[in-house]
Structures are given as C-alpha cells and as structure tokens.
Amino acid sequence: MKKTIMGNHAVSYGVRASEAKVISAYPITPQTHVVELLSEMCANGEIDAKFIKVESEHSAMAACVGASAAGSRAFTATSSQGLLLMTEMLHWAVGSRLPIVLANINRAIGPPWSIWTDQNDSLSMRDVGWVQIYCESNQETQDTIPQAFKIAEQLQLPVMLVLDAFFLSHTYEIVDILEAEEVRDFLPPYKPEIKLDVNEPHSFGNLASPDYYMELRYMIEEAMGEARELIKKTGKEFGERFGREYGLVHPYRCDDAETILVCSGTVASTVRAVIDQMREEGIKIGSLKMRVFRPFPFEEVREILGSAKKVAVLDRNISFGGHGIFFQEVKSALYGFTDIPVVGYILGLGGRDVTPEVLREVADKAINDKNPETYINWIGVKK
C-alpha cells in the first residue's frame, strides 16, 4: 500500500514492519514524530512492543541495552544533543555486542541553539563502533530499518540510520509501506543464542584484564569488516524481494567523469540534478553518494574515484582543526592508490540551504581551480 508520509513516519513504519519488541525514547525536535507515531502504534496494538518512556536519551539507550541483552529486538530514535547524551551507552551497546537500531535525525549541535540539519551529531560518533547508514528518501528510510535489524542481528553490532532534519524528517513523499507479514521471511524474529537467561547464567561485561580486552576489540573490528559484504548482500536480497535494491555507495554518471562530487544525505538528490544540467553542457562530471559511512567503503571509493581527475568532497559537517569529516575519510581511502587532487567544501551547516546554485558554484570551483592551495573551502560564509 502506498501512502504519503513524512520522513519521520517512514522510520516508524519501518520499525512496525520489523516488529521491534522494546522501544524506548525521549522527545527531541526534530525526531519526536518518530516515537509519537510508534507510541500510538503500541497503544492501539498495531505493533506488539513495550514502549518505555524514559526521562533522558541516556536512559533511552540504557533501556535498549537492557532489553536487547535480555533477547528482545530494541529500537530508539534521537537527534543532536540527545545523541550526544547517549554517547556512553552507544559505546555500551557496541561493547556488549547488542543489535540495537537507532534512527538519528541529523540536527546541528548547540550552542547557539539550532534545530536544523547538519551531520556533526552522527559524525562525532564515528569511532564508537555503530554501523552508520545515511538515507536520502522516505522510501529508503523505511526500507533501511528492516535491513538494519537484519545486519545488526547477524553481526551482533548496533546500526544507526541517519536522516537530515526537516529536508527529510519533515518532508512528505510517497512511500510503499512495508507490512510485518511480508517482511517476516526477510527478517525473522530475533532469537539470540547468548542472552540474559536464568537457565544459562552468564556474567556480561565484567572486568576484563589486559589479557582479554584487546581480543574483544579485535572481534568488533572483524565484525565491522564483515559488515561491508553483509550490507551489500542484505540490500540485494531486499531488492529481490521488494524491488528496491541498496548498496554501500551510489555512483551517478561516474563512468567517464573527470570530476566527481562526493556527497551524502538529501544533498545527493540536488547534486544529481546539477550533474544532469552540467552533463547537458558537455561537462564530464558525476557524483558518488556515500550511503554507508561506517564501515567505510574503502574499495568502492577507490574504484569509483580512482578514474577521475579531480574529487570534490561536500561536507555538511566540520571537524574543527581537521577539515570536513567525509573529506578526511575519502582522502585517507585514496592515499597510496591515486594522487588526484581531493578538495573539501564545507557547506549547509545548521540547516543552511544547499541549493542547485550553491552546488553549481562548488562544481565550477572544483573544475576551474587548477592548483587548489587550500584543501578546505567554506561555501557561502558571510564575511
């Protein structure tokens, strides 16, 4: 059944189709609609889940950690300050190897207060050990939730979905709604072998001496390594069942492109429109949308960008004193494989519009600047 719904509700429908059993959340703009609809679904029996209405995001993640450790499928959603408050428990979920799914609506961090989008909240969690998937449309958002649970439960690692505040969270699009009955074969009920169980008592997370800690960390990295193939396989299997396939990255008109714009989130759709326009003018340009940020798709990035003459990375985020975060990652992925120039552009922070005009400016700059002296360029800053 097709419905016109907002991005936030696409998350809720994805959770409904995935039959999450414990949901715990705390309100924050612009995430709130996700859990409002879920609490309604719980109340009217559309979904058989227990909703724990906690007193903070830190507690929301702690409740998910407890529920998941007890063997139930757990979900939460948050934004910005909420994600930051959760940080400690995000680590706890990883160390405990719990397949929790979280939807983070990208919102700029205060102060000053801002409710509008940028990626600094989720990207400041890049080293925590969550798989991170950046969504571009409402359909993709809904479809990614059951995939996220499937990936998480196979890896025993948590997965974070990321979507732009307002540009996606509050935008209405037509979505082919998934029903639990049709998803169940793709995503069977969660039945973990190891869980809190009085019939098989174990102590989870107790003191690990230096003799053990490092191996446990190595195993997390191993799981992240496996995630690359698994995400592709899962996206393909989803495509076979539902007709919509997903991967690690999404290249667009890259085959003969001399310049490639690397982007993520909703900016990617605007980028494609600009590329079409420039292609009509005979300019050899393409784009690479990063759907998955962790694990970083090194191979795909090297393969697709390796044939270009110049790479421009668009960052809706900034690591102060260290450039844009996608820029750093792309550059490190290419190191030793190619010496083409990679230039970074910081734009759209705190929800500033990234219009086709802005993107055209970036593309022209990237093409025309023959010897870029700075590898970090701020776009549209009023001076």
Partner 1 sequence: MKEARISTEELMGSGHLACQGCGATQAMRLALKALGRQTVLVIPACCWSVIDGSFPHSAVDLPIFHTAFETAAVTASGVKAGLQMRGDTETTVVAWAGDGGTYDIGLQALSGAAERNEDIIYVCYDNEAYMNTGIQRSSSTPVGAWTTTTPVTNYKKRPKKNMIDIMAAHSIPYVATTSVAYPEDLVNKFKKAREIKGTRYIQIMAPCPTGWKLDPKLTIWIARRAVTTKVYPMIEVTENGEKISVFKDFEPTPFNEYIKAQGRFRHLSDEEIGKMEKGVEISWNKLLAKEKMLASIPAMDTQTG
Residues that bind partner 1 (CB under 8 A): 21-22, 24, 48-50, 52-56, 58-59, 62-72, 74, 88-89, 92, 196-198, 200-209, 212
Question: Which residues does residue 250 pair with via DSSP β-bridges, in sequence order?
Answer: 289
Closest approach of partner 1 to the CB of residue 27, in Å: 14
Amino acid occupying residue 204: F
Query: Are 118 and 348 in contact, with CB atoms under 8 Å apart?
Result: yes
Measured distance between the N- and C-terminal CA atoms of the chain, rounded to whole angstroms: 50
Q: Which residue has the tokens 């970036």?
A: 362
Pairing relation of β-strands 172-176 and 2-6? antiparallel
Give 208 or 273: the residue with its C-beta nearer to partner 1: 208
Closest approach of partner 1 to the CB of residue 218, in Å: 15
Pairing relation of β-strands 50-53 and 172-176? unpaired
Closest approach of partner 1 to the CB of residue 301, in Å: 35
Distance from C-alpha of 234 to C-alpha of 166, rounded to nearest angstrom: 28
Closest approach of partner 1 to the CB of residue 89, in Å: 6
Question: Which residues does residue 164 pair with via DSSP β-bridges, in sequence order?
Answer: 106
- Helix or strand holding residue 331 (H, E): helix 325-334
Closest approach of partner 1 to the CB of residue 189, in Å: 9
What is the token pair recorded at 270? 């605007």
Give 58 or 310: the residue with its C-beta nearer to partner 1: 58
Q: Give residue 258's Cα distance to chain centre.
A: 28
Give 65 or 224: the residue with its C-beta nearer to partner 1: 65
Distance from C-alpha of 30 to C-alpha of 168, rounded to nearest angstrom: 10
Distance from C-alpha of 107 to C-alpha of 30, rounded to nearest angstrom: 8
Distance from C-alpha of 50 to C-alpha of 42, rounded to nearest angstrom: 7
Give 215 or 373: the residue with its C-beta nearer to partner 1: 215
- Helix or strand holding residue 118 (H, E): none
Give 213 or 335: the residue with its C-beta nearer to partner 1: 213
Whether residue 295 is preceded by a cis peptide bond, meaning omega within 30 degrees of 0, is: yes
Closest approach of partner 1 to the CB of residue 17, in Å: 17
Q: Which residues contact 144 (CB under 8 A, 6 or more apart)?
A: 14, 133, 135, 161, 246
Give 48 or 245: the residue with its C-beta nearer to partner 1: 48
Closest by CA to 345, choosing from 337, 333, 364, is 364
Give 96 or 269: the residue with its C-beta nearer to partner 1: 96
Closest approach of partner 1 to the CB of residue 215, in Å: 11
Distance from C-alpha of 317 to C-alpha of 350, rounded to nearest angstrom: 9
Give 209 or 371: the residue with its C-beta nearer to partner 1: 209
Give 62 or 346: the residue with its C-beta nearer to partner 1: 62
Question: Which residues does residue 343 pair with via DSSP β-bridges, in sequence order?
Answer: 312
